[in-house]
Amino acid sequence: MEVDATSEDIYELKRKGELDKERLERKIKEAIKKNIRKYLTEESIIAGDGQKKIKIPIKGLELPEFRYGKEHEGLGAGRGSLGEGDAIGTVRGRGQKGGQGTAEHIYEEEVTIDELVEIAFEELGLPNLEEKSSKKISVKSEVFEDIRKSGPISRLDAKRTIKMNMKRNALAGKAEIKNIIRDDLRFKSFSEKYEYESNALIVAMMDVSGSMTEHKKYLVRMTLWWIKKYLERQYDGLEFLFIIHDTRAQIVDEKLFFATTTGGGTEISSAFALALKTIERNYVASEWNIYPFYFSDGENFDYDNAKAVELANKLISYSKMFYYGQVDSGGFDTFDEIIKREVKEPDKLVVSILKEEKDIVVAIENFLKV
The predicted-structure confidence for 174-204, as pLDDT tens digits, reads as follows: 888 888 888 888 888 877 666 555 578 999 9
| Amino acid at position 288, single letter | W
- Residue 85's closest CA among 114, 107, 58, 61? 107
Among the listed ranges 71-75, 142-146, 287-291, 319-323, which one has the minimum average pLDDT value?
A: 71-75
Q: What is the structure's pLDDT at 26?
A: 72
Please determine, for residue 298, whether its predicted confidence score (pLDDT) is greater than 80. yes
- Residue 105's closest CA among 55, 58, 35? 58
Distances from the Cα of 325 to the Cαs of 262, 297, 339, in angstroms? 18, 8, 12
The listed range with the strongest mean pLDDT (77-91, 103-117, 149-163, 347-361) is 347-361
What is the band of 74 on the pLDDT scale with cuts at 50, 70, 90? very low
The predicted-structure confidence for 325-365, as pLDDT tens digits, reads as follows 999 766 667 999 999 999 999 999 999 999 998 898 889 88
Q: What is the structure's pLDDT at 208?
A: 94
Q: Residues spanned by CATH 3.40.50.410 within the chain? A: 198-368
User: Which of the 8 DSSP states describes residue 209?
Assistant: S
Please determine, for residue 168, whether its predicted confidence score (pLDDT) is greater than 80. yes
| Mean pLDDT across the chain | 75
* Distance separating alpha carbons of residues 222 and 225, to the nearest angstrom: 5
First-to-last alpha carbon distance for the chain, in angstroms, is: 62
What is the band of 15 on the pLDDT scale with cuts at 50, 70, 90? low
Q: What is the structure's pLDDT at 290?
A: 92
What is the band of 367 on the pLDDT scale with cuts at 50, 70, 90? confident
Please determine, for residue 132, whether its predicted confidence score (pLDDT) is greater than 80. no
If one compares 35 and 299, the residue with the highest pLDDT of the two is: 299
326, 296 contact by CB (below 8 A)? yes
Rg (CA), the chain: 28
Domain 198-368: give its CATH code.
3.40.50.410
Enumerate residues 6+ apart whose C-beta is below 8 A from 44.
none
